[in-house]
Amino acid sequence: MRQAFVSACAGVTVVGVVAVGCTSQQTQSAGSAGSRSQLREPTDTEQILLRRAQQTLVKACMEGAGFKYWIGPLPTVDELKGGGYVLTDVSWARKHGYGSRFKERLQDVQRNDPNNAYANSLPQEERVRYSKVLEGGESSAMLKAELPGGGAIQTPRHGCQADAKDQLYGDFGAWFRAEKIAIGLPARYVPDLLNDQRFVNAVESWSVCMGKAGHDYATPQEIREKLPDLTADMTKKEAYATEVDMAVAEATCATETALSRTAHALEDEYRNKQPQKYLKAVATYQRMTLAALPRAKDITRATG
């Protein structure tokens, strides 16, 4: 499923409503025609492979330092496809609604994370060393990435997590800076896109379709805002059934009206009008991520 305006991808929450890394869309960035044709965003399946490989490397690094480390549950393809401004896949909506059960699963995973339990069980001195080995510690050198929408983000340059990405992507610093630009790029253009009259007209057509189906909502966002109150007095089973019904209606109207195709077309249009320095960074992110796939396969194959 390709959803319009995917908001989260590969564990990264985006400021705005669009993200890279969740589709097989090819980039239109600067460079030769040959290089452009070979670049694309990693698929959801490939994202999961990369996560597994990264966690495998972290585990080996932590065990090498004398600590235990568990590779936690990885997301499924369907989980990575959830979210976004508007649902456009009726089948996914029928199976998962708005993905509330995925959110519950994530909360359970976080509550029952064996790594947190293990770290908390260590003596104070070892707990500090555990954190330093894993994340680099407060004295670790930092990598800094400027964000297209303004501001910057930092991450430790050392530690098992950083070292794992360095092994996987070849140059963690270069990949980190490119990834943050790629993921943050929508913040530059989404506000204008949402106010584009073509998009506004498409949302209005969607709203008319929803009204005919018995659901009076002006925008997809309004459904999400009102759904908690709508289901507040229902049983858990009833609430989920209502969630699914609303999601199916939303996706159906998105595909039966111009909203889905308009959203995708405008996403491509606005994205490709961004400054070349940002499009080059997107291309770098895609190139380095795709180049990491063979390494990821070797890493996961070697550990079974």
Residues 260-274 have pLDDT tens digits of: 999 999 999 999 999
> Residue 9 is inside which H or E element, if any?
strand 8-9
The amino acid sitting at 14 is: V
Kindly report the pTM of this predicted structure: 0.85
Query: SS3 for 26?
Result: strand
Give the mean pLDDT of 97-124: 95
Beta bridge pairs of residue 4: 86
Q: DSSP states of 83-150 as a string?
A: -SSB---HHHHHHHTTSHHHHHHHHHHHHT-HHHHHHHHS-HHHHHHHHHHHH--TTS-EEEEE-TTS
- Neighbouring CB atoms inside 10 A of 98's CB total 22
Contacts of 17 (CB under 8 A, 6+ apart): 5, 7, 84, 85, 186, 190, 194
User: Where do the structural domains in the chain lie, given as residue ranges?
Assistant: 1-41+84-99+186-273
What pLDDT, on a 0 to 100 scale, did the predictor assign at position 37? 56
Query: Which ranges of 141-184 does DSSP label H, i.e. alpha helix?
Result: 160-169, 172-184
Mean pLDDT of 76-98: 92
**What confidence tens digit (pLDDT) does each residue in 132-145 have?**
999 997 767 899 99
For all residues of the chain together, what is the average pLDDT?
88
Cβ within 8 Å of residue 297, ≥6 positions away:
49, 53
How far is Cα 146 from Cα 123, in angstroms, rounded to an integer?
Answer: 38
From the list 268, 147, 254, 276, the residue with the least C-alpha distance to 196 is 268
* Residue 185 exposure: Cα atoms within 13 Å on the Cβ side: 29
Residue 83 is predicted with a pLDDT of 73
Task: Give CA–CA dist 45/55, Å, rounded.
Answer: 16
The pLDDT score that the predictor gives to residue 303 is 73
Rounded CA-CA distance 196/266 in Å is 9
Residue 20: its pLDDT value, please?
33
Whole-angstrom distance, CA of residue 239 vs CA of residue 55 = 36
pLDDT given for residue 18 in this prediction: 33
How many other C-beta atoms lie within 10 A of the C-beta of residue 236?
9
Nearest alpha-carbon partner for 187 in 149, 234, 240, 137 = 149
What is residue 19's predicted lDDT score, i.e. its pLDDT? 32
